[in-house]
């Protein structure tokens, strides 16, 4: 992953912060379902590579980098996918919090009807439904995000076609 992609995605992650108004410091409390039971969160290839770089840059992951890399490589082949039990969920928290994908950052505050979290989620009243009509107004940085992840996909798949 080259530095330009890395910097662009970091900027988008930073921008996303101002749109997410957490209802409290620890909004999920002791409920970890979205990371540990049946996560419905999507992730793009670029974000996997971003995580991989984060793992390599942080020595606390030494020893687990191979495990994560194997997981990531297996998942990359599935195209766009969902987590089930997220491998980054450890000790009741996200072990890659600074590098987590955008869907984890936005969830559940912004969800589409299909991806809405559990009906008994205690944050359900804070959910803003995203539709094709309102998505760009509610989250304008998504345009840049989708441009970037799609550009990266085409770069990646073209690179593979050369071999």
Residues 35, 108: Cα–Cα separation, whole Å: 12
Q: Does 108 bind ligand SF4 (CB under 6 A)?
A: yes
Q: How far is CA 132 from CA 112, 120, 148, 156, in A?
A: 9, 25, 19, 27
- Residue 140, preceding bond cis, omega within 30 degrees? no
CB of 158 to ligand SF4, least distance (A): 28
Member of 1, 82, 116, 117 binding ligand SF4 (CB under 6 A): 117
- Site track for ligand SF4 across 11-50, x = CB under 6 A: -----------------x--xxxxx---x-x---------
Q: How many residues bind ligand SF4 (CB under 6 A)?
A: 22
Q: What is the number of alpha carbons within 13 Å of residue 79 lying toward its C-beta? A: 0
Near ligand SF4 in 68-87, by CB under 6 A: 83, 86
Q: Which of residues 127-156 bind ligand SF4 (CB under 6 A)?
A: none
Which residue lies nearer to ligand SF4 by CB, 104 or 130?
104
Backbone angles phi, psi at 111, to 5 degrees: -140, 150
Toward ligand SF4, which CB reaches closer, 97 or 146? 97
The b/e string for 122-132 (b: 16+ C-beta within 10 A; e otherwise) is ebeeeeeebee
Residues that bind ligand SF4 (CB under 6 A): 28, 31-35, 39, 41, 83, 86, 88-89, 94, 96, 100, 104, 108, 117-118, 121-123
């Amino acid at each position: 992953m080259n530095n330009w992609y890395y910097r662009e995605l970091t900027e988008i992650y930073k921008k996303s912060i101002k749109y997410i108004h957490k209802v409290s410091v620890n909004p999920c409390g002791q409920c970890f379902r979205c990371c540990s039971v049946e996560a419905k969160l999507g992730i793009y290839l670029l974000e996997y590579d971003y995580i991989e770089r984060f793992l390599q840059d942080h020595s606390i992951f030494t020893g687990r980098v191979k495990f994560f890399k194997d997981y990531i490589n297996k998942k990359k082949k599935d195209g766009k996918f969902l987590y089930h039990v997220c491998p980054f969920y450890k000790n009741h928290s996200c072990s890659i919090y600074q590098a987590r994908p955008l869907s984890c950052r936005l969830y559940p505050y912004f969800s589409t009807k299909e991806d809405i979290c559990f009906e008994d989620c205690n944050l359900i009243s804070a959910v803003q439904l995203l539709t094709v009509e309102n998505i760009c107004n509610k989250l304008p940085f998504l345009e840049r995000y989708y441009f970037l992840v799609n550009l990266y996909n085409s770069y990646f798949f073209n690179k593979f076609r050369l071999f």
